Structure 1
Amino acid sequence: MSSGVGFAVGVTVVPVDAAPSPWELVDPDPAPGLGEPLSGWLPAHRGAGVAAVLLQQVVAAEA
């Protein structure tokens, strides 16, 4: 004789607003300078070698 056991899973769908919530608009940790070009972060009036070394350090730090 075989017996089967079944169960049902309920799913609730909640509508979502297209506009973000007010708390989503506030950036708790703003990072200034992300919109600036990389040349703004490189040393001014330095040689290309110094800029290349700095760029390699940035790439290594992000890896």
Structure 2
Amino acid sequence: MKSFLKYFKKISNNQGQGVMEYIIISSLIGIFCLVAVKQFGSVVQTRINYMKTSVVKNIPTK
């Protein structure tokens, strides 16, 4: 019975560690995405607007 309790405690500790690693990695990815959008947002918006005007200019209207 004692060995079962030791095994169960070991599993519980490993699961807690896995959850913490997941939270840390998710947080870092979220921060990276926010920084990337802040850094490159205006450049992407400018390019999208350029493509939009090019498409509108080159589509023949009736």
TM-score normalised to the size of structure 2? 0.30
Which structure dedicates a bigger proportion of its chain to helix? Answer: 2
Bigger RCO of structures 1 and 2 (CA < 8 A, at least 6 apart): 1
